[in-house]
Structure 1
């Protein structure tokens, strides 16, 4: 029998509806109320989660170190040396990738590998053999990898835009409904459970937003100059990014998908209209929208978690400010270490989308036909998936996800195959154990896999910088 620990927890308790409800409705006295709040709920928790996290962390760390000293271990020619050499079909037994696949789930990894088969197994050979991508397969400019990348972006943008349509429709419907309501005591519902001293005042939000836009515009102008992007255009970029961030947060909350790539492309399309031919302005506008939507989604998940555990929103706000300031130093230092230890872009960090943002504006031959075809197909698939998901149809999760499908194009097969192993592991584990009996042990192990490789990769970077 494993050891157990006893913990005290205050808060909500599930009501047993079969219990007799007291007939009196008199309010409790202060003493009775205090006694009720101080009632102890004792539960026994097996400390198996920490052991699982520790061992999975160590295992992933060992694999990372082995990959550094023996790189061939992470590029196994599973399908033969010819396919590995000429078509980049290798296998990377990364525990971090497997852990990510466990967290993603089987349906998502299945969509990703379906995209990998179509992109790298069908479109890549077609583009190469037809002469549309005559360079080496892995070349992002003249090779098949750069050719299928555009099809991937078309799928992601289409899927994101289609998934945003019902979100925008609901927002507009809610606004019209609120404007049409009669003001009065019955029309206002206060559902805020927090007291004023625990909330972030609205004036902080307004002044902070105005200050961020002002100083951000000044910094962009100082770095890129008036020829790069006009100050008024930068302000418009921030406003558009804020609006798109609202859509991104809403989509993430409802569908567990933040379509940041599609949102960035929307901003770029708008700037192609107001500042045609200005590549710098176009890239900045897309970056502002994409980064804003990404950070807004992360903040939403943080605040949602804090709400569930009754944390103070104001305390979280302070923590986010401190973390944002520290991250400026930490992230820039980490990036500097990574660029010294790894080739970026390179085999480990290909950064495929960066090639598109920095391209010469010319599409590869016949890639537009592929983009239009797949955009139409996945517009229909995404619409049907959104329809089925909103009506909670059981098979909705098995309809291919456009974003996951497109990611299978972006990365080489080695990335997707390892994640598929994690997805299959997640499916078989919960099918045998059940969601309730399985608990979160498997997710803890997957988190250890991801954390282990992440921490050890930083150590490798430090060692490579100062051996």
Structure 2
């Protein structure tokens, strides 16, 4: 028996050696990184990145909630390139085979492109600078502190702040991905999808593409059909009083938006239900009760959009929820980040490698080898970040005279440690906290600049910080995808740079198109840009304090701030089966400003997915992302022709309205 055991052990050892040798041969057969980036891939990235930028901008300007679209981008990239190569094949034109590396490269470019619409602040801190938001927030609170949004300076500003984020975490990429083995859930899910497409044959891919095409067509045609009934403001299926006219007045109705139904299918269920809970608390209970106090709590004669009216309660209570949730999670993630790093360092005798060689599979050996072989030099990251810090210290004050050069230097000194914490937290939880970390920049610069220049300086400081943090964590997600698909880190970095450059041009143009075609920033319209008013008022608070708030508003803010912190504490203490049903304060805050209609759309998407998972779990897992992506992209694509029709002054022929009998 002992001899037999030794033989088996020897055979297993020989097999492992063979597998490893086989993997080494496989790594040698991989195309060099210069071949992984193609001209057709860049062309595809421009198209897909532009489509996703339009979708992200719509979500930015309507609710400010944007789901992670990495998996969707990988699916669309595969579908686009497979269609392209099939056309060439039928025409008899020779072509280079489509590989997982090219698929990863296109996905990275597309995601980097639409990420600028989010990280660049086009629906939040940047839009908060314009005159309309300045007037909505009460111009008297901060006289003259606005800057109109023009494509020229927005493009230059985006290039300056977003490219710095590409360099900040390059020296730490091996620590985060190989040594600490962080999951980066979205990056991993994208890699699993791409590897599946290119290794499991075309059956799975064909089903997913067919599902995407079917629901894309439905969503696109439904958006066209709806357009014919939207003759004037407040018309169309989007205004259908689903639960009656009284509920409709309090924004409780299904607005037939396939974008939000699809978003509800992609987001975790608790996100959709937290939104609905927030809508019920605010529009169902609080706002009707506060409105009855009109004349006592706030004046009768102030405009509806004024911060001294009901709108003040909406804005500042949502800020209290956001700050409570953000501050708690900021402290928690900082603590766990440093505790985890300290624990690893102590456990490994100050060595950063985690786990022994026995824990590393042969596949992981190959992935690590490719990741390390195509190393990006540390000096490249350090010099790149330093160079952009120096350039931005001189260039940003030329765009915003309220900002001093040393404000920018201070922000860029603080940013790397926060970027590491954010990337570490994102790698563990998939929850990007750049939004919360950037508030440090907002309050810091607002306080330094003082009363006259603090609002603009605070918003710019928020932008500088958020762009670095958001772009760097996006790059880490994509490097994780590249690590698992055996794509060179150099390919990933260059793809991210190309996508960022495309995004810095496309995002300002997209915002300009939306601003000209639609009534963006109108608190009663479709494109409310809710986070613009939130960020502006946070900057005003940073400069002036709470003096301008209506009666009892500050007490309510304290209550909701405490509620946000309390919910998070309880969630961390109770068992997982109870925790998963507790609301997320950061999601609850959105309908306080926007209304309840979109939360109903998202809950319908979540319920569809829940029922589908119960009826046929395997099919739901395989197809849900494709179906959701089709619904989002179909309606999203219609925005472009709708904007062109609006600019050409071609109006829908019918106005469908619902009135009381």
Q: Mark yes or no: TM-score above 0.5.
A: yes
Say which is worse superposed, 186-195 or 257-266, in terms of deviation. 186-195
Could you tell me how far apart the structure 1 residues matched to 2:343 and 2:24 are?
A: 44
Checking the alignment, whether the CA contact within 8 Å between 2:371 and 2:483 is kept in structure 1 is no
Alignment of 1:55-66 (within 5 A): 55-66=214-225
In structure 2, do the counterparts of structure 1 residues 349 and 189 end up closer, same or farther at CA, with 3 Å as the change threshold?
A: farther
Aligned length: 440
Give 1:237-386 correspondences, 5 Å limit.
237-277=411-451, 278-346=454-522, 347-359=525-537, 361=541, 362-386=548-572
What residue number does 1:152 align with? 318
Contact 2:261–2:603, Cα closer than 8 Å, also in 1? yes
Kept after mapping to 2: 8 A contact 1:114/1:408: no
State how 1:17-416 maps to structure 2 within 5 Å.
Answer: 23=11, 25-26=13-14, 28=17, 33=22, 45-46=203-204, 47-71=206-230, 72-85=236-249, 87-131=250-294, 132=297, 134=300, 139=305, 141-177=307-343, 182=349, 192-225=368-401, 228-277=402-451, 278-346=454-522, 347-359=525-537, 361=541, 362-388=548-574, 393-416=576-599
CA distance, structure 2, for counterparts of residue 195 and residue 84 of structure 1: 55
1:348 counterpart SS class: coil
| Post-superposition CA distance 1:417-436 (Å, at most 9, x none) | 111111111112112223x4
Distance 1:421 1:42 in 2: 32
Higher deviation after alignment, 304-313 or 52-61: 304-313
| Equivalent-residue separation in structure 1 for 2:269 and 2:213 (angstroms) | 25
Query: Is the Cα–Cα contact under 8 Å of residues 213 and 238 in structure 1 kept in the other structure?
Result: yes
Q: 1:156 touches 1:403 (CA, 8 Å); kept in 2?
A: yes
1-side partners of 2:12 and 2:414: how far apart?
56
Distance 1:42 1:76, change over 3 A: closer
Alpha-carbon distance in structure 1 between the residues aligned to 2:214 and 2:443 = 48
Q: Decide whether the 8 Å contact of 1:116 with 1:408 is kept in 2.
A: yes
Point out where structure 2 has 5 or more consecutive residues left out of the alignment.
1-7, 30-197, 231-235, 361-367, 542-547, 651-661
- Tell me how far 1:236 sits from its aligned partner: 1.4
1:443 paired residue among 586, 601, 625: 625
Q: Work out the CA distance in 1 between the residues paired with 2:289 and 2:465.
A: 34
Distance 1:75 1:141, change over 3 A: farther
CA distance in 1 between partners of 2:447 and 2:283 (Å): 34
**8 A Cα contact 2:337 2:421, kept in partner:** no
Say if 1:67 and 1:251 are closer, same or farther in 2 by CA, change over 3 A: farther
317-326 vs 436-445, greater mean Cα deviation: 436-445
Deviation at 1:116, TM superposition (A): 0.7
Shift of 1:351: 1.0
Distance, in Å, in 2 between the alignment partners of 1:186 and 1:249 is 18
Q: Using the alignment, how far apart are the partners of 1:288 and 1:370 within structure 2?
A: 31
CA contact (8 A) 1:135 1:142 kept: no
Classify the secondary structure of the residue corresponding to 2:213: helix
Distance (whole Å) between structure 1 residues aligned to residue 372 and residue 440 of structure 2: 37
Structure 2: how far apart are the matches of 1:184 and 1:313? 23
On the 8 A contact 1:156/1:261 being kept in 2, the answer is no
- Higher alpha-carbon deviation: 351-360 or 57-66: 351-360
CA distance in 2, matches of 1:304, 1:178: 20
| Residues 200 and 365 (structure 1), Cα distance of their counterparts in 2 relative to 1, 3 Å cut | farther
Q: Which moved more, 1:228-237 or 1:304-313?
A: 304-313
Counterpart position of 1:431: 614
Superposed displacement of residue 450, structure 1 = 0.8
Structure 2 distance, partners of 1:155, 1:458, is 34
| 8 A Cα contact 2:479 2:492, kept in partner | yes
CA gap of 1:89–1:183, structure 2 versus 1, over 3 A, is closer
Q: CA RMSD in A?
A: 3.3
Q: Normalised by the size of structure 2, how large is the TM-score? A: 0.61
Name the CA distance, whole Å, in 1 between partners of 2:596 and 2:302: 16
1:308-351 Cα deviation digits (max 9, x unpaired): 22221110100111111122221122122111111111322211
Give me the TM-score of the superposition, normalised by structure 1: 0.84
